[in-house]
Amino acid sequence: MGIGATAGVAAAGGIALGAQASTGSSSSASSSGSLVFDPDGYEKLTTTVTGTDGAEHAVTYHFWKAITYVAKPVDATYQSLVVSAPVEIDGKAVDASDAPILFANSVGGYMPSSVADATGVGAGGMGGGAPGGGAPSGSAAPSASAPGANGNTNATGGATASNQLLALAAGYVVVEPGARGRTLKNSAGEYYGTAPAAIVDLKAAVRYVRSNKGRIPGDVDRIVSAGTSAGGALSALLGASGDSPIYDPYLKELGAADASDAIFATGAWCPITDLEHADGAYEWNWGANATQSTGKVVDQSVSRDLAAQFAEYQASLRLRGLNRFGALTARNYDDYLLEQYLRPSATRYLAALSASERETYLAKNTFITWSGGKAAFTWDGYLAHVGARKKTAPAFDAFDLSAGENNEFGAGTTANRHFTAYGAKNDTTGLGTKRVAADIPEKLRLMNPMHHLVDKVNGRRSKHWWIRLGTDDTDTSHVISANLAAAAAGLGDEVNHLYYWDQGHGANTDPGDFISWIAEVTGFKRAKN
């Protein structure tokens, strides 16, 4: 990607409002309780940002170390944010007071993410949750890779800090929030970071920023959220659910600032969302592909059951495809993905190659026909090209409760729970009940952007959407992002959704375009001096 950065302290300024990093217990966190941003509490830092064109940019910026964003934190280690605002770019003074604010979360795998120890911009990009599926073994800390028994390991999300660095070099303010995640457990053995903790935290962080209008650098009415994978899901949810009252009791309990949590625009890379429908969507998409861990196809009767559920769900959404495609159904979604996303993605990729590189690629990938400057191929050809799928079936609500998402829907002292009727009915862990718990439907609403775009259309949602996905990404179904895009576009929102050809989970191969898009949609122009 050509993004590199080196940061060094140029001179120290004041000290930021303290984030009292707790040790992970729900009662040990403390804070000043003040939600007033201290404009003078920064350090002055310098960094070198390599642009997408390879040119180096010297950036001097003010950096506010971890600030606790709620008055009554459960765990300030996670409920804190850092702020970076450029003051000089390539030797020229810049004023970021009216610049867009990139609100970049670093959540991965629905795990905890912390910026408590961040010493400069982009640190959150490395602080994302580590992979891990299934029941955590009791540790509150982000664990190392601990694949679930069904192979449904979560990959890391948001591995690069390129968005943040490029944003800073473009003159934007960068806010990086931490958030609680699914594995956090207090001394009483209670999980305090499972759904809806992460979205409540991100909303509280947005409220903190907005309530500090005039004190915090940047235009608080031009917040652009970004995240990858689980972080992409949360970014999309943040965009869809702006000011929805269903989060109010949770925000009140944390002592969140009294301000709007609506954001202006949403960036979501490979969002792992619409979790309660993701098992069906996954089988519809990848049901015939072998599984990476076994080399075999999954139980085809389970796969067929789930795919049938998807068909029903898709019909109930009543979505229409982009570019006047018409009603999106399980019967035509393969054609839709091919026409709208996959062939154009391959076409862009191939068109950018030299003639000889293209010839080599096409010789290796004979399922593609290249004619008139366009790539053509069938759905079956494409599926074979992707090859083995990452997950077993069901991909998200595992019968043995081993998926990371089972933990995301844990509650109290129960680490892992079912969140679909089908998962609960087919439970293999010996549970006494074959139904989901009574609180699950509400938890699902709190976690699903589609709720705010389809079931109960939210007028306070973000109206600009940047969505990206790699064509090789089998962490979820391609339908998930495409439905999100279709739902937003159907409401009249501006949607920019592309697929990266031959890229896997977590790819972000056009960060410079995202930065330009932010300028476009916010109307921001850096003053030329």
**Residue numbers of the site for ligand DHB (CB under 6 A)?**
108-110, 154-157, 229-230, 272, 404-405, 475
413: left (phi over 0), alpha (psi -120 to 50) or beta: alpha
Task: Decide whether 150 or 458 has the Cβ nearer to ligand DHB.
Answer: 150
Task: Decide whether 287 or 394 has the Cβ nearer to ligand DHB.
Answer: 394
**Three-state SS at 291:** strand
Query: Are 206 and 103 in contact, with CB atoms under 8 Å apart?
Result: yes
Task: Decide whether 118 or 507 has the Cβ nearer to ligand DHB.
Answer: 507
Least Å from the CB of residue 285 to ligand DHB: 14
Task: Decide whether 280 or 404 has the Cβ nearer to ligand DHB.
Answer: 404
Using alpha carbons, select from 411, 499, 478 the residue that is nearest to residue 273: 478
Least Å from the CB of residue 108 to ligand DHB: 4
Least Å from the CB of residue 405 to ligand DHB: 6
Task: Decide whether 169 or 272 has the Cβ nearer to ligand DHB.
Answer: 272
Least Å from the CB of residue 292 to ligand DHB: 12
Task: Give the C-alpha separation, 83 to 122, whole Å.
Answer: 10
Least Å from the CB of residue 373 to ligand DHB: 35
Task: Decide whether 219 or 408 has the Cβ nearer to ligand DHB.
Answer: 408
Least Å from the CB of residue 492 to ligand DHB: 30
Least Å from the CB of residue 153 to ligand DHB: 7
The string of DSSP letters for 483-500 reads HHHHHHHHTT-EEEEEEE
Least Å from the CB of residue 107 to ligand DHB: 7
Query: Are 120 and 85 in contact, with CB atoms under 8 Å apart?
Result: no
Query: Are 281 and 287 in contact, with CB atoms under 8 Å apart?
Result: no
Please name the residues in contact with 191: beta carbons below 8 A apart, sequence gap of 6 or more. Answer: 182, 183, 184, 185, 407, 410, 411, 412, 413, 414, 415
CA 58 to chain centre: 29
Least Å from the CB of residue 475 to ligand DHB: 4
Cα dihedral across residues 145, 146, 149, 153: positive or negative: negative
Least Å from the CB of residue 369 to ligand DHB: 32
**Three-state SS at 340:** helix
Least Å from the CB of residue 155 to ligand DHB: 4
Tokens linked to 334: 């393969």
Using alpha carbons, select from 153, 42, 53 the residue that is nearest to residue 96: 42
Q: Which amino acid is at 340?
A: Q
What residue is closest to ligand DHB based on CB? 229
Phi, psi torsion values for 37, nearest 5 degrees: -70, 135
CA 3 to chain centre: 20
Tell me the residue length of the chain: 529
The string of DSSP letters for 303-334 reads HHHHHHHHHHHHHHHT-EETTTTEE--TTTHH
Using alpha carbons, select from 484, 289, 511 the residue that is nearest to residue 392: 289
Task: Decide whether 114 or 154 has the Cβ nearer to ligand DHB.
Answer: 154
How crowded is residue 512: how many other Cβ atoms within 10 Å of its Cβ? 18
Strands 101-104 and 173-177: parallel
Task: Decide whether 24 or 151 has the Cβ nearer to ligand DHB.
Answer: 151
The string of DSSP letters for 431-462 reads -S-SS--TTHHHHHHHH-HHIIIIIS--TTS-
